[in-house]
Amino acid sequence: MIEKRPLEFSFEKIIRDALYEDLGQQGDITSNSVIDKNLENNFVLKSRSEGVISGLQVAELSFMTLDSRLSFEKKVDNGSNVKNGDIIASVKGNAASILSAERTALNFLSHLSGIASATSEMANLISETNTKIVSTRKTTPNLRILEKFAVKDGGGMNHRFGLYDGILIKDNHLALSGSITNSVSLAREKCGHMINIEVEVDNLDQYREALETQTNAILLDNFNIEDLIKAVNLNKKNIILEASGKITKDNILEIAKTGVNLISSGWLTHSSPSLDIGLDFS
């Protein structure tokens, strides 16, 4: 039986729900109809394009949750670069079990590797600067922990994981609380010294107000390059500056060169294309 590492317990429900979505109450009626139930074979998970791998532990658990007698062997690690034709892992054992878990395992692996690959591409574009690429909360419901790990496997960093572990005061909060100064003051008073506060600003006037508060970071939302440069030059307190909004491969380097600390992109987790990975009979 697979030895479970502590974090993997949090993956179990995600995997079980995904397997049930595919197998339902009746199971894999195709494999159960046409394959000898005692037949054992070897298969390999193979990359069909270039990219960065993420999600191997979830792919492994997808197979092992369905049939603990299977044997799964990684050929690369999460965060590894692969080329078309590279073998990522092998899985051995009952053929029907392997085929029944195939799609669930590949869906996880392809999706997460796609996020890692997209993150890696963005991170490489700004690798000669001091700016880091970070993910957001724009994730697939119930898959956030996996998608956030994929960002790290691709060389990126994570923003807060949820509403519970960091304060980010956005435009709607400001509209309801009255001002940036008041919002940050209330947040600092109520949250304690261990919680970081970030405030989102839309223009340089708001930014100047934010600089005079006790915020730890300022999110510069949809600032043009000229205003980003001005914001960096005005930042005498070394407050963390994060650029966000319409980040693409075409403009990320220009944004990083302004001197901001972070560039956040929801695209990494909500729209990056999956990496093409297949299961082949070995």
What domains are there in the chain, each with its CATH number? 7-115+273-281 (3.90.1170.20), 124-270 (3.20.20.70)
Tell me the mean pLDDT in the region 77-87: 98
pLDDT at 91 over 50: yes
Kindly name the residue from 48, 75, 103, 152 that is annotated as catalytic.
103
pLDDT at 8 over 80: no
Other Cβ atoms less than 10 A from the Cβ of 194: the count is 5
User: Exposed, middle or buried by CB within 10 Å (0-12, 13-18, 19+), for 201?
Assistant: buried
Query: Could you give the CA distance from residue 29 to residue 23 in angstroms, rounded to a whole number?
Result: 9
Kindly name the residue from 28, 60, 102, 200 that is annotated as catalytic.
200
In the DSSP assignment, the letter for residue 7 is: G
Residue 197, Ramachandran bin (φ over 0: left; ψ between -120 and 50: alpha; else beta)? beta
Q: How confident is the model over 114-128, as pLDDT tens digits?
A: 999 999 999 999 999
Our answer to whether residue 40 is catalytic in this structure is no
Query: Could you give the CA distance from residue 92 to residue 103 in angstroms, rounded to a whole number?
Result: 16
Share of the chain above pLDDT 90, in %: 91
How many residues are there in the chain? 282
Grade residue 193 by pLDDT with cuts at 50, 70 and 90.
Answer: confident
Share of the chain above pLDDT 70, in %: 97
Kindly name the residue from 13, 37, 170, 249 that is annotated as catalytic.
170
Tell me the mean pLDDT in the region 239-259: 96
Our answer to whether residue 230 is catalytic in this structure is no
Query: Could you give the CA distance from residue 237 to residue 224 in angstroms, rounded to a whole number?
Result: 22
Kindly name the residue from 16, 137, 138, 257 that is annotated as catalytic.
138
Grade residue 194 by pLDDT with cuts at 50, 70 and 90.
Answer: confident
Grade residue 5 by pLDDT with cuts at 50, 70 and 90.
Answer: low
Tell me the mean pLDDT in the region 22-29: 96
Our answer to whether residue 200 is catalytic in this structure is yes
Tell me the mean pLDDT in the region 57-78: 97
Compute the C-alpha angle 162/165/170, nearest 5°: 70
- The interaxial angle of helices 95-125 and 56-66, nearest 10 deg, is 170
| pLDDT for the residue 14 | 94
| Residues sharing a CB contact under 8 Å with residue 153, sequence separation 6 or more, in sequence order | 52, 53, 54, 78, 79, 112, 116, 119
Q: Number of H helices and number of E strands within the chain? A: 11, 12
Grade residue 3 by pLDDT with cuts at 50, 70 and 90.
Answer: very low
Our answer to whether residue 170 is catalytic in this structure is yes
Structural element, H or E, at residue 207: helix 204-211
| pLDDT for the residue 84 | 98
| pLDDT for the residue 2 | 44
Tell me the mean pLDDT in the region 83-105: 98
pLDDT at 1 over 50: no
Our answer to whether residue 221 is catalytic in this structure is yes
Query: Could you give the CA distance from residue 249 to residue 117 in angstroms, rounded to a whole number?
Result: 13
- The interaxial angle of helices 180-191 and 204-211, nearest 10 deg, is 40
Residue 235, Ramachandran bin (φ over 0: left; ψ between -120 and 50: alpha; else beta)? beta
Q: Which stretches of the chain are assigned E, i.e. beta strand? A: 40-47, 51-52, 71-74, 81-82, 87-94, 132-134, 167-169, 197-201, 217-221, 240-244, 262-264, 277-281
Tell me the mean pLDDT in the region 211-234: 97
Judged by DSSP in three states, 239 sits in coil
